[in-house]
Structure 1
């Protein structure tokens, strides 16, 4: 396992691109917490803090696929670096103005959210040209999913440290300066500068004209609901079991499970098409959420949270591969951005839905929401499986370990075709 990942990380530009993307995404990963802390420090209410965070999230959800489409048209440097600077300037304006002028504050966080650069989709579009070998691409998607868990675990800690060392406003400014530096690290690299999208058919729906992609992002909307609901239910559980760090234990355990599952998943070669495998992974993910509704004591609940996270990163990594196969030619960055957007929107819906469920029932009912959402995600994939049938090539390249299809054996598909090409 270590040798496989070592070979991947020794490939030229891999570490730079992965690290730059993670650093560039820190402002987005920490925005909700940083905004809430800043508003409270300014004397604003939790309602105002929540509203501003929601506006940031809405801007982000709208901006990601639109910027992803722009990247596919214009290339990465022309879109990602200017958008990173505009996003940082929006958050800087918010930090300077504060909450004294609410219309300006809302406009500033909307700009910051909307212009968040689509670094996730951009990185996944680069992997085929950088890694070239399909087994490495497969491992890179898994490592990408694992790295997200690390970022979301480290990000809140970094915010806390910056607030303790300076102030809430300084935390906003520093994080966004770091984000611009990360984006510059990515777009100044030769792979990013040389990358060009494959030829594309002009269509107003862009990536969304793919039925398979629509099925996939619909399913992961419900996976996002499960994740959002778990976050709220964990806080309610902590209130009943001593408060303090209990909710952090549960969420950290879930992330640790995802990290372990992702590392193991990415280290092995998988035979067969990824579409059926994705259904199995989502089924296992949904099944893992069900025991959380038992709400046992803290040690057992922490163990259940760990187990519930094991299939999360593998499911995401497999979904990345499926997106790469089903995205129409020339839309791969936009397609990845849609997956991210729907997952984040789902998490927001799950966060909003879990609270009323807990208030109407109890904590167990709150933890039943993830199981139900996971089941719906599986139903979407199973019920619409004819639209997400295995394909050998579409907008991208073959998947590591895939068995050749009949078309491949007959030579109907051009070997080595890639959805992105280097200039």
Structure 2
């Protein structure tokens, strides 16, 4: 892969096939940012229980996260186009089924099962798009910019999605609101599947010996070293999502916490743009250690500041490091996945982040109960430092991936 140090974001957006491929993928991916609130309230209203609504959201999230490596393996094994098309139709249908069932007043158990089915068949549009960038962006500099742009777009989707869903719920029933992500993922997902970039992935699978067994990426210690920073980033994000509302409970309450966490997402989007614009030298392993350490250090100041303004400033600063961690991890995953395990590699990065987020949220609740917000933040930071140190040891010899961003 040749170097292109003068690559700009506009260069990436005007590459052949990029507008249609990236645009259609974003339409489909927007559905994910719009699902959670309508799902929660649709089940709550139909079943008459917020507990059952929370259980439906948790079931959806659990099946979506824990089965993501299986969906990635299916794509790598049978090709992106047929598998993604099937998953997209099934996911859109599952969301429409939940919407309809909630509107007719189905029992909570039925809605929870449907939520689990929806999560199980959620099409990995994001990971597949990140694989497609490897073919669409012909140089290493353009690939990094493309992945930076992708990360920023995803941050903005999850920043705007819940707000738009909340506004919609003020005017229409939650069940009706669920039809919107169902339509978005079906239209955007199928348009994405129809692009030549996705078709090329399927052709690569067909021209490779499908009976050749690939060694599991998780048996490669260097790849595990790449996943650990994503795990740490997720853990700190999950910790903050619980610690910040607790910290601001008597100082602005939910509104202040929402603004502060929104600034974290905004800082992450800005950090991704800036990082993609820079020409960063050094191995991927070293970059992961540096930006992950920056995230931990900046986030740790939440433990020592007070007040909505101070917490918001700290979170905006910490957010600058979040997207760069994920961007470098995705670039490293591109290198590690080779021809046959691209989707699996990028999906494992997502899965590591999600597992870290779940662990961070769960641990934060216990630590805050026992010792307060500072205990939760510092506890996550200390554990994160140890994990990042292990990551540096495991990933250090990754000579094949270390050169890609020089």
Same fold (TM over 0.5): yes
SS of 1:392's equivalent? helix
- Please name the residue that 1:343 is paired with: 353
SS of 2:252's equivalent? coil
The alpha carbon displacement at 1:41 in A equals 2.6
Measured in 2, the distance between the counterparts of 1:242 and 1:251 equals: 13
Q: How does 1:391-402 map to 2 (within 5 A)?
A: 391-392=399-400, 399-400=404-405, 402=406
Q: After alignment, is 311-320 or 84-93 more displaced?
A: 84-93
Measured in 1, the distance between the counterparts of 2:174 and 2:70 equals: 30
- Please name the residue that 2:172 is paired with: 166
- Please name the residue that 2:363 is paired with: 353
The alpha carbon displacement at 1:148 in A equals 1.5
- Please name the residue that 1:82 is paired with: 86
1:223-254: per-residue Cα shift (whole Å, max 9, x none)? 21211111111221232212141011111111
Contact 1:223–1:377 (CA under 8 A) maintained in structure 2: no
The alpha carbon displacement at 1:204 in A equals 7.3
SS of 1:24's equivalent? helix
Which structure shows the bigger proportion of residues in helix conformation? 2
- Please name the residue that 2:236 is paired with: 226
- Please name the residue that 1:41 is paired with: 45
Residue in structure 1 matching 2:64, options 45, 60, 71: 60
Measured in 1, the distance between the counterparts of 2:16 and 2:374 equals: 49
Paired residues, number: 396
Cα root mean square deviation, aligned:
2.4
Measured in 1, the distance between the counterparts of 2:62 and 2:357 equals: 12
Contact 2:291–2:321 (CA under 8 A) maintained in structure 1: yes
The alpha carbon displacement at 1:205 in A equals 6.0
Contact 2:98–2:115 (CA under 8 A) maintained in structure 1: yes
Matched, 1:189 2:199: no
- Please name the residue that 1:249 is paired with: 259
**Distance change in 2, residues 1:157/1:2 (3 Å):** farther
- Please name the residue that 2:26 is paired with: 22
Contact 2:72–2:124 (CA under 8 A) maintained in structure 1: yes
- Please name the residue that 2:17 is paired with: 13
1:251-294: per-residue Cα shift (whole Å, max 9, x none)? 11111211111111101222332221111111111111111111
Measured in 1, the distance between the counterparts of 2:363 and 2:282 equals: 37
Measured in 2, the distance between the counterparts of 1:2 and 1:325 equals: 22
Matched, 1:207 2:211: no
Q: After alignment, is 214-223 or 306-315 more displaced?
A: 214-223
SS of 1:311's equivalent? helix
SS of 1:25's equivalent? helix
Q: How does 1:311-390 map to 2 (within 5 A)?
A: 311-386=321-396, 389-390=397-398
Q: How does 1:78-157 map to 2 (within 5 A)?
A: 78-98=82-102, 100-157=106-163
The alpha carbon displacement at 1:300 in A equals 1.4
1:38-82: per-residue Cα shift (whole Å, max 9, x none)? 223335333222221111112112332111111112222211121
Q: Which runs of 5+ in 2 are unaligned?
A: none
Give the structure-2-normalised TM-score. Answer: 0.90
- Please name the residue that 1:281 is paired with: 291
The alpha carbon displacement at 1:2 in A equals 11
Q: How does 1:250-265 map to 2 (within 5 A)?
A: 250-265=260-275
Measured in 2, the distance between the counterparts of 1:193 and 1:170 equals: 34
Give the structure-1-normalised TM-score. Answer: 0.87
Contact 1:246–1:298 (CA under 8 A) maintained in structure 2: yes
Contact 1:254–1:306 (CA under 8 A) maintained in structure 2: yes
Q: Which runs of 5+ in 1 are unaligned?
A: 403-423
Matched, 1:73 2:83: no
Measured in 2, the distance between the counterparts of 1:78 and 1:103 equals: 31
Contact 2:68–2:347 (CA under 8 A) maintained in structure 1: yes
Contact 2:233–2:322 (CA under 8 A) maintained in structure 1: no
Q: After alignment, is 76-85 or 365-374 more displaced?
A: 365-374
